[in-house]
Structure 1
């Protein structure tokens, strides 16, 4: 992995780089998009750039990777690398783009840290970068080779279902009438759309049907912004403009949060639109006749905002040992428990495998309660929609 001289240099300079990493990534993206505006227009999520979420995720990943290398010189943080590589593959990232990132990232490092970036320091951090980049390139190459679909493919919307006031399900079939490639429950596809200003923006949406479905099916929540976060460009475009008969571009399925073939007890915990991968998992369990206990936990504002609630209940009812525990901040009545998710009195069987998806505060709280109940850290798996601001801390 990291050479001994470079490890010593990185260890010595890590505090300075870590303290400035936010400023470095801010400058990096400014330089990158100034030189390559097409990347912001057609590849990077403009909303995440505007909110700063992508910059935080990049900063955390670089710092975590470097820290891991100096603390564990013979190991790679594969969880972090796999998660990033799946997202990259869904976007169609290619090896030729990594030198471009290196050029502008190191220009930013040199500008922010100034004279502290000696030839020795630059060489050490270049080694860190290419260890990470080459690992990602190798994983992405394998993912592309394993995929049944190369590049983007056109799909026609055959049905649109209004799940709630802010969530719509889209069902699609391939325009070429070719076979529908397989996937694993919990995976997502990237959806590419051309917006009114000509930009091509890409977002990821979890597939909500079990593997084997003859259609691609995903649910989209309309993202409404606030003072610090803009409205979701793609989600609002899909809600406002995409109807039955329209064509969308979809990637192959990717994602490393997948339902494993197991006879262990399971806990599927979600909040808000985080329900989407859980629905595919739950349907898969119903189809395969999973006989161990399955605890289905969901938190939402109200039953009316609980997207795919009927599916949640229907698939759970098909399992022999399933329990649904729903939490609603409003209008709980007989539909669930009032308030935020709380597992303190929810039984969790020994050996449980847990899958989480939802906002970070929700997942942090659920994870802490599961650990307190004896669930092993390695048995708690999660998915984050958007830049993974938790992964770097988990991997470090």
Structure 2
């Protein structure tokens, strides 16, 4: 049910039979020596240069030769000892440690995937030892919570990925810092009275998460304090394992307060677009430098284009499509095919749109952690980088592009509602 990734199943036993290699326990060493891991294979050239095997086997001759050479050993430790004899003495200890560490990564997991996919059951000893609440484990297993959440909760550290942004400005992730702090507060349960404490006491009581981000082009480590949350979320009755017992209205209020928007302003918006619009309000409010009007309009037009694409390409035969929507969509496709007059790349605009994406990403994580008080948007039709940049460039030179969807009264009205909501 739902979207899926086509996959093929490969069997270790068949692989071994194909290459006449009876011992599958040697395959982790084979993979590590073949450069499949973080091992400096250049240091192994002494081994590959001295071992004799047929050299005329084409592109994969070395791999086939290594498999045959390993087949003479009964245990990985025995094979590893022989490999190290071909290296210089001062290299052996370090190479042994590297190869052993890589081989450990191939230890079969104790997770029974059949149970998960057939019966929905997920049991993992490592996860149980982490002490995570059962609902968090279930949500992580089903992809309803992002790895970002487990990293913050278990490792107390997160890695913020860099986008195509202006490296001379602060990281685009800086805009979404207040959202991340609320996530950390929920995960790490900030004490209720932390907000009333003196600054020195508060610094000691608030838990911190180590964030890895960039400072210009350099990796930077920062310790970020979790946010102090409202009483409903700090009361002893609602630790993390009972977060889903907090009334949905309270969870929704926390999400909206974090994004600095009121539910009343989102009511005219279709439910599946309420979260992106709330994020857009937050982006306009919190971004530095401030969002330009053409950037805002380009972003909203892009959202409208995604909505038009969604309704005109809906595979459901029971969905009625308005003729003017189809006409507007065809005109939009024609517009996209036209050559852009100004193809200059605007780095500052790219940085601003990166800030929106960072804010959306963290808002999605927070929304999921709170049990989706707002509907999740269809990300596949929500954002297209090349399109939003083109819209921004053309709006600067041709303001009439704002009327791109004028042939569809429904899309025209949607654009106006989005714009009025964000500007109000």
TM-score by length of 2: 0.29
* TM-score of the superposed pair, with normalisation by structure 1: 0.31
Higher relative contact order (CA 8 A, sep 6+): 1
Larger radius of gyration between Structure 1 and Structure 2: 2
